[in-house]
């Protein structure tokens, strides 16, 4: 029988659907893989910001991962919000137990509105136990600065490799550049640096961009692409999702990307329907 390309996301939940688990599932599905999830935290948030965060009990986090791994082993794993030291340790234990391939870590530390999403004590565990076993770590400029204490992306990459990362992608979507957004990919222990540029998209709808990019990389790895090709394809996917979502009004703050930007035909679709 034919099988799907299963991808597991381990992350927090966003009830407004733009980031976290919800963005991951949309991305994985849009690319053509089979999305599975283990929720690490429940958040109360929307496009205007994060109001509250409640970690999921560690035993339940472990059980979710165990049930997936023992029945539908993923071809790739995306890790997002880990919230606390206890949850980070639990996820590290699960990864040590099952040794999945193609682990992509998005070290979520701050929400786009500035809310802290990661306890300081969790950082040491992520660095010591998760960095060395990941295929790719994808911090944005602010996260890389928080992790390394450096502002220069090249120095950030050097320190992240020293901290145990095999491959690093510094994402530049949060930069102030208005012409291009540049990501820097470092592979093979900093031997190779590759700049990936894409047109900057003028839009307020950027909620969940980091979650989307890391999930896209994991999905492209799952279907058999090389790391470099997976990053290229993921950046192209995010750029298109930003463009196609730039003219869609969703919420009162920073709206989501358009994850399903490919043309769709909806029966009985009425764009002028009255709002409920």
Which region holds residue 103: left if phi is over 0, alpha if psi is between -120 and 50, else beta?
beta
Determine the average pLDDT of the residues in 184-197. Answer: 85
**CB-CB neighbours of 76 under 10 Å:** 26
Give the pLDDT mean for 66-93: 96
In the predicted model, what is the mean pLDDT of residues 38-66? 96
What tokens does 164 get?
């145990």
Q: pLDDT value at position 172?
A: 81
Confidence at 1, pLDDT banded by 50, 70, 90: confident
Predicted confidence (pLDDT) per residue in 106-134, tens digit: 998 766 555 566 778 889 999 999 999 99
Torsions phi, psi of 212, nearest 5? Answer: -65, -45
What is the model's pLDDT at position 212?
97
Of 79, 93, 83, 220, the closest CA to residue 138 belongs to 79
* pLDDT > 90 fraction of the chain, expressed in percent and rounded: 77
Q: Return the structure tokens found at 205.
A: 């709808």
Task: Classify residue 62 by burial, with Cβ atoms within 10 Å: 0-12, 13-18, 19+.
Answer: middle
Is pTM, for the whole model, over 0.75? yes
- What share of the chain in percent tops pLDDT 70? 89
Q: How far is CA 24 from CA 143, 147, 157, 220, 239, in A?
A: 19, 24, 25, 13, 16
Sheet holding 49-55, edge to edge: 49-55, 34-46, 6-13, 76-79, 103-105, 136-137, 168-170, 180-187, 192-199
Where does the pLDDT of residue 200 fall: very low under 50, low under 70, confident under 90, or very high at 90 and above? confident
- What mean pLDDT is reported for the chain? 90
Cα 38 from chain centroid (whole Å): 14
CB atoms within 10 A of CB 235: 23
> Per-residue b/e over 192-218, b at no fewer than 16 CB within 10 Å?
eeeebebebbebebbbbbbbbbbbbbb
Alpha-carbon distance 85 to 132, whole Å? 17
DSSP-derived secondary structure letter, 128: I
How confident is the model at residue 211, as a pLDDT?
Answer: 96
pLDDT digits (tens, 9 = 90+) for 161-187: 999 999 999 998 665 666 778 999 999
pLDDT tens sequence across 130-165: 999 999 999 999 899 989 999 999 999 999 999 999
């Amino acid at each position: 029988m034919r099988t799907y390309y299963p991808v597991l996301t381990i992350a927090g939940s966003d009830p407004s659907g733009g980031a976290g688990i919800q963005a991951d599932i949309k991305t994985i599905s849009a690319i053509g893989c089979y999305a599975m999830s283990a929720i690490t935290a429940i958040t109360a948030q929307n496009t205007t910001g994060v109001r509250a965060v409640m970690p999921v009990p560690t035993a339940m986090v472990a059980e979710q991962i165990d049930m997936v791994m023992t029945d539908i082993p993923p071809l790739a794993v995306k890790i997002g919000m880990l919230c606390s030291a206890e949850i980070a340790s639990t996820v590290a234990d699960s990864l040590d137990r099952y040794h999945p391939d193609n682990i992509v870590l998005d070290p979520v530390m701050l929400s786009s509105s500035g809310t802290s999403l990661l306890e300081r004590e969790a950082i040491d565990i992520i660095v010591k136990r998760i960095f060395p076993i990941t295929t790719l770590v994808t911090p944005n400029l602010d996260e890389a600065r928080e992790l390394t204490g450096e502002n220069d992306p090249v120095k950030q990459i050097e320190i992240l490799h020293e901290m145990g990362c095999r491959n690093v992608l510094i994402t530049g979507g949060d930069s102030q550049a208005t012409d291009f957004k540049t990501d820097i990919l470092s592979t093979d222990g900093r031997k190779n640096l590759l700049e990936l540029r894409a047109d900057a998209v003028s839009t307020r709808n950027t909620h969940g961009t980091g979650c989307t990019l890391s999930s896209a990389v994991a999905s492209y790895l799952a279907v058999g692409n090389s790391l470099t090709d997976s990053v290229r394809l993921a950046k192209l996917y995010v750029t298109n999702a930003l463009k196609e979502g730039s003219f869609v009004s969703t919420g009162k703050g920073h709206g989501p990307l358009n994850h399903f930007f490919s043309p769709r035909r909806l029966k009985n679709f009425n764009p002028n329907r009255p709002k409920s």
